[in-house]
Chains A and B, each alone.
Chain A
Amino acid sequence: MSTEYKKPLPATQPWSEEFWKAAKLHKLVIQTCKKCNTKIFYPRKFCPNCWSSDLGWSEATGKARVYTFTITMDMVEEKFKEDLPYALAIVELEEGIRMMTRIVDCKPEDVYIGMDVQVVFEDITDDYTLPFFKPATNG
């Protein structure tokens, strides 16, 4: 694992730490309101639907579909240049949540809208792991 990670780390809040701890263990979790059952993304201090503070976490299946994407090829900050070209995407989880991510383990030009993908974890530092997605191996 690189100790010289120069790209931005997620700017976390105390109430989102569970998400990143789980990601480090290669689990994708979703915050859930125990009072109104809202699935909350991104994690909040209080439920954005009912303002309850009684919040918990549940593990997502990790299955998702590409809602839209772009192959980033130029005009990025110096620190992202080594990654070019990369497929930046918004995916829709089975649980109905949209996340920003990257599609990896395939050529960027093979990504398409509606593509079935599954979560894969990229350990970027000792503390942080980003949830990326790769083409689903089976339906």
Chain B
Amino acid sequence: MSKEKLAIIGIGEVPTEINPERSQWDIIYDTCIEATRDAGIDKKDIEGVISANPMAQPAITSELAFGKLPEELGLNNCKDTAVCNAGGASSTNSLKLAEQWIQTGSAKIVLISHTTVHSTIPREDAINFFATAGMDLQWEYPFGTTYNGLFGMLTQRYMYETGTTMEELASVVVALRKWGAMDPNSIFYKKEVPSIEQILSSPMVSTPLHRRECNLLADGGAAMIVTSAELAKEITKTPVYKLGDAVTYESASILMRHDFFLRDTFGYMAKKAMSDAGITTDDIDIFEFYGAYPVLQCVFLEAVGICKPGEAGKFITEGHTSPGGKCPCATIGDAIGRGHTGSGVGMAYYVETARQLMGKAGERQVPNCNYVLYNTSGGSGMNVIVTIFGRELQ
């Protein structure tokens, strides 16, 4: 418990877009250099490099796993490098590995990077990847499962149990797209926010999910510089401290999941993480919920006790989670409101968490932001990880 805490001191990001001309390495260069400059350090200060695994991109994954990043960027004082792959939780596990390197003295300052270019993957390969990632190849895939199908089933059951309506679920997309429209790094930046009617009249993909309730695969990347809390204070005036976390494994397959929506598990992990940080739900200024599909924004609000089970849809429809609302949630618009960059959404959320706590979120800045709760999960919900960040050490 008395271990040295971790701090994020620099961030870099490129806009999410569909741009086959911009290579994975191009993104790595721009984000890593921006994060290093943002931290106000020199490249010789970087002693560890961790990449959140780029999904469905085996060539770059191999290059990163076999150590090309420190060499490419001339990081001559790098002591070690690795790739972390835990699906959508890859970024969180990258941060945990960085924490371990820092606490054991292997590296004082660590660079964490993510890059993804979906648009150069042949369409059929991309569909195949997301039809099989996190799906059981014996007991699920032969029946024609997809991610949209899986979340269609989850959403259907949630509606059945809670009475939440299609309109309320569509309002989640409206709220997320409002955030996305204000985010220069979103693919939907300055794009018109669709109405509930427009969302519900988009073609059905997998009932009850319409096309505009499903994710748009996009390209992007981000990087961050992390160090110990002690060193962070010397380097920057705006360190962002990791104050607490909690994690538990659930199951690879949704078939094994008795807590079907992960609501109880999420609630328990959130409580544990907040207790670890010495705060309560009332202290949280932003809930950076990473759900990927609209239904999970509802589930998470209920899990942390902001809404009673079944009442989150109404709460979101009333605008409370939207920009200017009393309970800002998912200020990058989640994957729906930004474009899905695989394991990159997790990284984008870390960067946004830091940005909000550093007070540099521009139009999206939540006033007096002191504490942020952020969650990740891998696959179809194989694990639940909740992390608390803050501006001050407790």
User: In the complex, A86 Cα to B153 Cα: how many Å?
Assistant: 13
Decide: A7 near B142, CB < 8 A? Known: A71-B206, A71-B207, A77-B127. yes
> Which of B142, B214, B256 touches A8 (beta carbons < 8 Å)?
B142
Main secondary structure of the interface of B (DSSP, over half): helix
- A12 to B: closest C-beta gap in Å: 6
B154 interface residue (CB < 8 Å to A):
yes
The interface size of chain B toward A, counting residues with CB under 8 Å, comes to 35
Please determine whether B140 and A75 come into contact, CB atoms closer than 8 angstroms: no
- A24 to B: closest C-beta gap in Å: 14
Which of B17-25, B63-71, B143-151, B383-391 binds A?
B143-151
Decide: A76 near B131, CB < 8 A? Known: A42-B136, A130-B143. yes
Please determine whether B156 and A88 come into contact, CB atoms closer than 8 angstroms: no
Which of A29-37, A55-63, A97-105 binds B?
A97-105
- B151 to A: closest C-beta gap in Å: 8
A28 interface residue (CB < 8 Å to B):
no
Decide: A73 near B204, CB < 8 A? Known: A88-B143, A99-B255. yes
A80 neighbours in B (Cβ, 8 Å): 144
Per-position binary interface string of chain A over residues 1-19, scored 1 when its CB falls under 8 Å from any chain B CB and 0 otherwise: 0000001111111001000
B233 interface residue (CB < 8 Å to A):
no
Per-position binary interface string of chain B over residues 107-133, scored 1 when its CB falls under 8 Å from any chain A CB and 0 otherwise: 000000000000000001001100100
Decide: A101 near B143, CB < 8 A? Known: A68-B153, A70-B206. yes
B157 interface residue (CB < 8 Å to A):
yes
A126 neighbours in B (Cβ, 8 Å): none
Please determine whether A72 and B206 come into contact, CB atoms closer than 8 angstroms: yes
Please determine whether A76 and B156 come into contact, CB atoms closer than 8 angstroms: no
A47 interface residue (CB < 8 Å to B):
no
A110 interface residue (CB < 8 Å to B):
no
> Which of B131, B148, B156, B255 touches A100 (beta carbons < 8 Å)?
B255
Please determine whether B255 and A113 come into contact, CB atoms closer than 8 angstroms: no
B156 neighbours in A (Cβ, 8 Å): 68-70, 113
A positions within 8 Å CB-CB of B: 7-13, 16, 41-42, 67-78, 80, 83, 86, 88-90, 98-102, 113, 130
Sorted from nearest, which 6 A-B pairs have the closest CB atoms? Answer: A70-B152, A68-B157, A11-B137, A71-B207, A68-B153, A10-B138
CB-defined A-B contacts under 8 Å, sample of 23: A9-B142, A10-B137, A11-B137, A11-B141, A13-B138, A42-B136, A67-B157, A69-B153, A72-B144, A72-B146, A74-B205, A75-B148, A76-B146, A77-B128, A83-B144, A88-B152, A88-B153, A99-B139, A100-B139, A100-B140, A100-B145, A101-B143, A130-B142
B positions within 8 Å CB-CB of A: 124, 127-128, 131, 136-146, 148-149, 152-154, 156-157, 160, 203-209, 211, 214, 254-256
